[in-house]
A and B are shown apart, each in its own frame.
Chain A
Amino acid sequence: MNWERFFNMGGYAFYVWGSFGVALLLMAAEVFLLRRRRRRALARQSNEAQQIDVWQEHETTT
């Protein structure tokens, strides 16, 4: 296996790796953003739930 030849892609390296590189990068970015969106949604959820708990405790003790 000649790696140099492989990366050169018969002189079309820019076009071939430009296509696959951007595709894989965007797909990885999409997964990363979705995981962050999920973490944030869950964090917001538990914040709101805690606030409700605090509020309910306050209601019952006073």
Chain B
Amino acid sequence: MTRRSINWFKYTSPASFYPLAGKLIPWFAVATALLLAAGLFIGFFVAPTDFQQGDAYRIIYIHVPAAWMAMFLYLLMALYAGLGLAFNARLWSMMASAIASTGALFAFLSLWTGALWGKPMWGTWWVWDARLTSTLILFFLYLGFLSLQAMIEDPRRADRAGALLALVGAVNVPIIYFSVQWWNTLHQGASLRLGKSPSIAPVMLAALLIMIAACWMYSITVTLMRVRCIILERERNAPWVGELLREAK
């Protein structure tokens, strides 16, 4: 009897991950397009108008996914950065760098769409309350990570410095998540909570969940695209990159 052993570390080298990521990108891109189309269709054409907030409530279909992605991606970035630091693995550090820009994008979008929702609903674009302030800090943490890495020339040193910042900043994520419970805040409580029945209508919930799935697929697509760029740029002197290009010709 032969036991087939799986080499779990096979795809932790940039050389073998690069072609794998290339094969995965089209699938995630198609999933993004389909889910985005379905989520927007249900969100705008099937879901009814909210009796309290009118049509302005539809902003949640982009606001909530953006806010969730900003938090999830930060934790994922910190995890990859930490693993890259602990195991001295280039690919995991590259993944952390690849996630950062997209995380920053979603953090910005959650602030932007939140302001556009706040103006008609609260009468103000911005308040310095716990939820909003901690989300702004999250955005700055992403920007800090990106600029720190951009400043340091040696990529491995940049990885290590970025990892420290990412790990320390991870404390902020639970603060954002629980801020609506810990402090008195203008921000409404969570519509979705694990282990509790949601406080919104099923069709609205469906649209929201599909939009969250779409944002996940989008994040995976662009992260894989970016990590391939990072691999190409960093490993350009490695023999496998030369061979890859010769094969492509």
Residues of A within 8 A of B (CB): 6, 9-12, 14-16, 18-20, 22-23, 26-27, 30-31, 34-35, 37-38, 41-42, 44-46, 48-49
Among candidates A11, A15, A35, A49, residue contacting B245 with C-beta atoms closer than 8 Å: A49
Cα(A42)–Cα(B66), bound, Å: 32
For the complex, is B117 an interface residue (Cβ under 8 Å from A)? Answer: yes
Contact B222 A34 (CB under 8 A): yes
Q: Determine the main DSSP class of A at the interface with B.
A: helix
Q: Determine the main DSSP class of B at the interface with A.
A: helix
Contact A22 B56 (CB under 8 A): no
> A31-B222, A41-B229 in contact; A23/B56 too (CB < 8 A)?
no
Contact A45 B245 (CB under 8 A): yes
For the complex, is B34 an interface residue (Cβ under 8 Å from A)? Answer: no
Contact A42 B245 (CB under 8 A): yes
Interface residues on B, range: 20 to 34
Contact A9 B232 (CB under 8 A): no
8 A-B pairs with CB atoms under 8 Å apart are A9-B55, A10-B56, A16-B116, A20-B59, A23-B113, A34-B222, A42-B245, A44-B236
Contact B55 A19 (CB under 8 A): no
Contact A12 B232 (CB under 8 A): no
Contact B54 A45 (CB under 8 A): no
Contact A26 B105 (CB under 8 A): yes
Contact B54 A12 (CB under 8 A): yes
With A12-B54, A16-B58, A45-B232 given, can you name 15 additional A-B contacts, CB distance below 8 Å?
A: A6-B44, A12-B55, A12-B120, A15-B56, A15-B120, A16-B116, A22-B113, A23-B113, A26-B109, A27-B105, A30-B222, A31-B222, A34-B226, A37-B226, A45-B236
Contact B62 A23 (CB under 8 A): yes
Cα(A30)–Cα(B58), bound, Å: 24
* A-B pairs, 9 with minimum CB distance: A10-B55, A12-B56, A19-B113, A9-B55, A41-B232, A10-B54, A15-B116, A34-B225, A19-B59
Contacts of A42 in B (CB 8 A): 232, 245
